[in-house]
Chains A and B, each alone.
Chain A
Amino acid sequence: MSGPSREKHAPPSLGARGQAHPVGSPLTGESLLGASRPLRRRQPQYTYRGDRRLALVIPAAALILALSIFPIIQLANMSLHDVTLATLTHDWDFVGLRKYQELFAHPDFWKILGNTLAFVVVVTALGLVGGFAAAVAVSPQKRGASFLLGLMVFLWAMPPVVVASIWKFLLSGDGLVNTILLNIGFSERVGFLFDKDLALWSVALVNAWAVIPFNALIFRAAILGIDPNLIEAAEMDGAGAWQRIRYVFIASVRPSTMVLTVLTVVYAFRSFDYIYIMTAGGPGTASTTLPYFAYVEALVNRDIAGGAATAILALLIVVIFAYVYVRDLRRGEPED
């Protein structure tokens, strides 16, 4: 391996990265590399080497094309036909946009859309504010703080079915929360999961609780990146605790916030596990969101096409989020 030839072939962008030559690195000095053969053969291929590397995408691309892209096309196709669970393997009758008309005419459609919006707003607002507060609380290099972070992330890593079952138990009619409420003077038990005015909020609160650990982890990384001198300087300038949080902490997490907001919105929008376990979308459709409704239509009511139309609508909403996210990521990645 020879230094000069390496420099000659290096693309312009490489110089800008200013990397030291890894001479003598055990990772590069492979003894199996021939001494003279490579340079001659390598040269013409060098310019389109980028394309050759794309070959490594083939296994992933194959799986995604066959089991993600193709099914989505099929989902759109199903939404234009009359398909039920019973006629799934038969020929389907083309019905045009009728399934969409039925969806919009469904008596609970607007209520479900409203549920979805309320759910997403609550989970996102609490998830971000709570995540930030938790990040401030777990960032100090103290044992109590590190252990708390470990505990919170562990709950994030636990199977959602288990965590949702715990909350179903805690919020049940004679569960812990109701017992505490009765002891502090409530006159009757609260039907957190059975009351049609409360069920949606209960599930949304638990979902916010579930997303806070992950958001705290992301915010924490931003907070740990703050120059300690900045905090000290703010203090010397007479900034109180709240002012430090406002002008130092919040200012420094702002770059992560946009992307994290989109991620949390999407998390809330996609939420399924907690709704399924805690309320099953009920009572009635009181805690049903749009993606959950797609499931109910297709697999509970056995109307595959109706579920497909609902899912396509949910998918269109997701496309908007994805657009915002990608636009924002690209802005933060000037090198591409």
Chain B
Amino acid sequence: MYPRKRREPVAFAIRVVLYALYGVPLLWIVLTSLKSSRDIFTSQATVFFTPTLEAYSTALADPALASSMRQSAIIAVGTTSLVLFCAVPAAYALARAKTRLVVGGLAVLVLLQMIPQTASLIPLYWLLNSTRLLDTNVGLILADSTLFLPWAILLMRPFFARIPISIEEASLLDGARTLRAFFAVALPLARNGVLVVTSVILLVSWGEFLYGVTFMLSPRNYPMSALIAQQSGLYGINWPGMMAFGVIAVIPVFILYIASYRLLRNGLTLGAVK
């Protein structure tokens, strides 16, 4: 792409600034999590200190950690499954169907994707309350799925749209019905799209906290992110403990991210802007 030899002082300078801006916060969470509360008390900004796993052992001994991690896992997997179940066929239909409804449908999805979460939060609270789904995993999974579904469909659609239509036409003429054309032909070809949507929805539903903290009434049902949100609002935060919590919450994100980085890098670009 780029001629290799050229020196680029501007780009180099920007890179140095960006490394500081994005590297330091990440470094800081790890460093802080390795401090003892005494280190924090003297000065939060010391770089030289004796690392200790005190914060981690405290965090791991807290039963709330394990239960919130389990809640997060259940909610993320449940949300992702429901989103995939709805989004993948819908994206295929919206990529292929030739009716005016498609344009209208896409416009609705764009609008829904843009609605502030607080606007959906208020009536959903009422709806989940009247269906007795408040404080249940099912309720939260339904709410999270609805929140991410428009985005998932819009992200997924280009992967179907770029499959040459002739491939499907062939199978349709050979007798495959709509569903078979979808499962046997289009779906395998759009595999990368499914993987991108899977990892994106796993990531965002793992991180979602507003619905979590609002629709879960008892703190023992909180997912990880809601627990962190709640704790960070308290006075006199125990920073090393909080950061250790954060690091532990990010480990699954890190693993998933490493596994899907290349797909994400290319797939997010495809879905966001044509």
CB <8 Å contact, B10 and A241: yes
A136 to B167, CA, bound (A): 38
CB <8 Å contact, A159 and B228: yes
Option from B12, B29, B105, B175 in Cβ contact (under 8 Å) with A166: B29
A44 CB to nearest chain B CB (Å): 13
Instruction: Summarize B's interface: helix, strand, loop or mixed.
Output: helix
The verdict on A78 contacting chain B, using a C-beta distance below 8 Å, is: yes
Option from A60, A136, A256 in Cβ contact (under 8 Å) with B14: A136
- Given contacts A169-B28, A176-B28, A315 and B112 within 8 Å (CB-CB): no
Q: How many residues of B contact A (CB 8 A)?
A: 119
CB neighbours (8 Å) of B97 from chain A are 50-51, 53-54
B68 CB to nearest chain A CB (Å): 12
CB <8 Å contact, A294 and B116: yes
Q: Which of B48-56, B57-65, B266-274 is the contact stretch?
A: B266-274
CB <8 Å contact, B118 and A152: no
Q: Mark A164-188, 1 if CB is under 8 A from B, else 0.
A: 1111111010111011100000000
CB neighbours (8 Å) of B274 from chain A are 259, 329, 332-333
CB <8 Å contact, B116 and A270: yes
CB <8 Å contact, A322 and B43: no
The verdict on B229 contacting chain A, using a C-beta distance below 8 Å, is: yes
CB <8 Å contact, B28 and A209: no
Q: How many residues of A contact B (CB 8 A)?
A: 135
CB <8 Å contact, A311 and B86: no
CB <8 Å contact, A291 and B116: yes
Q: Mark B8-20, 1 if CB is under 8 A from A, else 0.
A: 1111101100110
The verdict on A153 contacting chain B, using a C-beta distance below 8 Å, is: yes
Interface residues of A in 81-133 (CB under 8 A from B): 88-89, 133
The verdict on A163 contacting chain B, using a C-beta distance below 8 Å, is: yes
CB <8 Å contact, B116 and A314: yes
CB neighbours (8 Å) of A17 from chain B are 164-166
Q: Which A residues fall within an 8 A CB radius of B?
A: 1, 5-6, 9-10, 14, 17, 19-22, 25, 27-28, 30, 33-34, 37-39, 41-42, 49-57, 59-61, 63-64, 67-68, 70-72, 74-75, 78, 88-89, 133-134, 136-141, 144-145, 148-155, 157-170, 172, 174-176, 178-180, 209, 213-214, 217-218, 220-221, 224, 228, 231-232, 241-242, 245, 256, 259-260, 263, 266, 269-270, 272-273, 276-277, 280, 291-292, 294-295, 298-299, 304, 307-308, 311-312, 314-315, 318-319, 321-322, 325-326, 329-330, 332-333, 336
Add 13 more A-B contacts to A159-B207, A209-B21, A336-B103 (CB < 8 A).
A14-B165, A20-B166, A56-B90, A56-B92, A140-B8, A150-B261, A155-B26, A157-B264, A161-B232, A169-B243, A221-B269, A270-B117, A329-B106
